[in-house]
Structure 1
């Protein structure tokens, strides 16, 4: 068998219907569209979202509301109670040390220390932000806050 001997299975290939090419073809005059009406016209018919006159789904849905601030900064948050568990007295809390201990997932994300929990150790905190309650707890324990 050679490539030129190959042919498609009988009945698997069909010529396309050439409508509007004369009445002798059987598809002339109205070209299979029937007589008159919206669907017989050029460009006629209903759009993809048409639901028979019922209010379409895309018009029944509520409009998207709200506003997204493009310049919002998302902080990775760490509470002082967590620092109490992870650090010894006199240690320095930094983005790098928090990343190494697995507290934060990325070194590039800014870190904010929040005031939930108790702190009894004097720590040096070097992060991007510190909340007011966290600052008072750190300083009350004898630590310092250094915002970089």
Structure 2
């Protein structure tokens, strides 16, 4: 059994096939046109075009209309209904309380209360804005916005 030395290491047989040498005569099987076929842009040296090129025809990505946009701050703000505030078990409400209750998402930073539903109990909001109708409904129920 012979020990393998670092200076005798070789790749496994067949793992590195020989490089294809094109344009080296008829006997190689890749002579004359070197496997590029006859004529045309792809047979020429440097004859390549960008992805999506359609031979000068207006490419698909330019034929279709531009559509849609997702704002980066889309998920930073949220709206909360008066009926959502009614269901909360606490009277002091801020953004963190709404997140813990699952009313708003975890990424939300700005919350606005809208007048939708009924509010029959006192609720004190802090760090939360409200529409004019929601503000009057909250104050009518004895609550306030801090």
Q: TM-score, length-normalised on structure 2?
A: 0.66
> Which residue matches 1:103?
103
2:78–2:108 CA contact under 8 A, matched in 1: no
CA distance in 1, matches of 2:66, 2:32: 47
CA distance in 2, matches of 1:100, 1:31: 69
Matches within 5 A, 1:107-146: 109-146=109-146
CA distance in 2, matches of 1:145, 1:117: 18
Shift of 1:97: 2.5
Matched, 1:57 2:60: yes
CA distance in 1, matches of 2:102, 2:68: 37
Shift of 1:116: 0.5
Distance 1:65 1:141, change over 3 A: closer
Distance 1:63 1:107, change over 3 A: closer
CA distance in 2, matches of 1:92, 1:76: 19
Distance 1:95 1:107, change over 3 A: farther
Matched residue count:
140
Shift of 1:49: 2.6
> Which residue matches 1:20?
23
Distance 1:8 1:136, change over 3 A: same
2:75–2:107 CA contact under 8 A, matched in 1: no
**Unaligned 5+ residue runs, structure 1?**
none
Q: TM-score, length-normalised on structure 1?
A: 0.65
CA distance in 1, matches of 2:38, 2:75: 64
**Unaligned 5+ residue runs, structure 2?**
none
Distance 1:87 1:127, change over 3 A: farther
Shift of 1:135: 0.1
